[in-house]
Structure 1
């Protein structure tokens, strides 16, 4: 039986592509969540700096007319009917947050490509990625309010990080669907791309990141994360160690040599 979430590897640029494919609506249920747990474990392995020929970037995309119609509410119904509902719900959120945190901690750029309607869990996974690309006709929503729930896969806090607390509260309180262009203006979506050829454009964007200086990208992620979690001065304090270590990488050695030999704009990165 084919997994609803799988990884494909691009020979062009060492790009790992994660594909969610569970027709007709890509609903998140126990099967999908379990598959995501396996996928993030595999991503942790294939992006490991010590792994020869490792993946240098990750793209998340989906098959079908929508990115996802959200979570299968039957999953919540089973918990509500349980005598230990609170404990079971807490255990579920711990599992799902590990998926989000594992994505965030990958040492390579991560990109989410949203070509259409993106609700609840899929939106929260998108927010865990470094870059969120959206087609012009895409729309997004954290609609858990319709079942008396708050998004609990990291959505509210990551929206607050991107758009500020007021916008985060608005998105969650209203449960409305928001156009990609609106969320780009609010700094939730990084870029809105034309509907036509969107999948190809998203892959090309991710390939460019995969062809870049992977070690430097990992350093950027560490510094940005440090600034968000601990403040700018903490990130400043980390610079000598984090950026200094880049001078021992093949990426920097080869790129500097290429720059001096071949002129600016032609640097190559061959390290891990």
Structure 2
């Protein structure tokens, strides 16, 4: 296992039993994992490293009694409109979008209270695993702000516009079981970290290039609808036949039946 640690977050890489590399990005900024300049700079650094050398799957998680207690409001005290706009552009373009567009599955683990920017990061991930009693919320309204790292629109995409408006405008906390019913959270698990790691390893041991194709098609549909996704699908899925993953999986299926492939991602 390799471990790259900078200040308030760390990036570890390890291999599954089948040899697939996984990246684990951990927020570790005690006592409450508050978002401040130190944390977001650390996340930017590690996400850039994942972009430069993508593993076969990524797990985003946190240490401590909460996933994130919100933002350190002192970071906003001296911002004016111009500086705030630049900050949100930077955080969207250097944390949320790069994480969302990694060419591999990304899983988020919410073991406990998860607020504000951490919810926005979770919504940028492909799948969210949460403890049934974990609470998630956008509480920016207490300082007359709104989620500004893409959380509103990504919540609306998962749960619908009405639920997104209600969750953001009220600042209420929602338990993970409710958000699972809404389609925001994908898996409920008491042992959240173990379940999230197992899911990440399962995805890493599979056809990662095919998972990337799924992400691409969903993204095209999200911005352009079914017609645009239909137009993109033949090119995106046709390209899979030039990958070792697909060639080896087809060959092994014909030779030995399903479940025998070793995916290399080339």
1:129 paired residue number: 125
Alignment of 1:16-165 (within 5 A): 16-47=23-54, 55-79=55-79, 85-98=80-93, 99-165=95-161
Query: Is 1:218 aligned to 2:212, yes or no?
Result: yes
Give the SS at the match of 2:24.
strand
Alignment-derived partner of residue 171 in structure 1 = 167
Q: Secondary structure at the match of 1:59?
A: strand
The answer for unaligned runs of 5 or more in structure 2 is none
Total equivalences in the alignment: 258
Deviations 1:143-186 (A, max 9, x none): 00000001111111111111110000010011011000000111
Change beyond 3 A, Cα 1:248–1:2: closer
- TM-score scaled by length of structure 1: 0.92
Match of 1:51 in 2: none
Q: Which moved more, 1:258-267 or 1:215-224?
A: 258-267
2:214 matched to 1:207?
no
CA deviation profile, 1:89-109 (whole Å, cap 9, x unmatched): 111111111111111111100
Identify which of 239, 244, 253 aligns with 2:238: 244
- Residues 110 and 192 in structure 2, CA contact (< 8 A), matched pair in contact too: no
The DSSP-based 3-state class of the residue aligned with 1:231 is helix
In the other structure, the counterpart of 1:50 is none
User: Mean Cα displacement is larger for which, 70-79 or 119-128?
Assistant: 70-79
CA–CA separation in structure 2 for the residues paired with 1:172 and 1:111: 23
TM-score if structure 2 supplies the norm length?
A: 0.94
Tell me the CA shift for residue 2 of structure 1: 4.5
Distance (Å, rounded) in 2 between the aligned partners of 1:142 and 1:155? 9
RMSD: 1.1
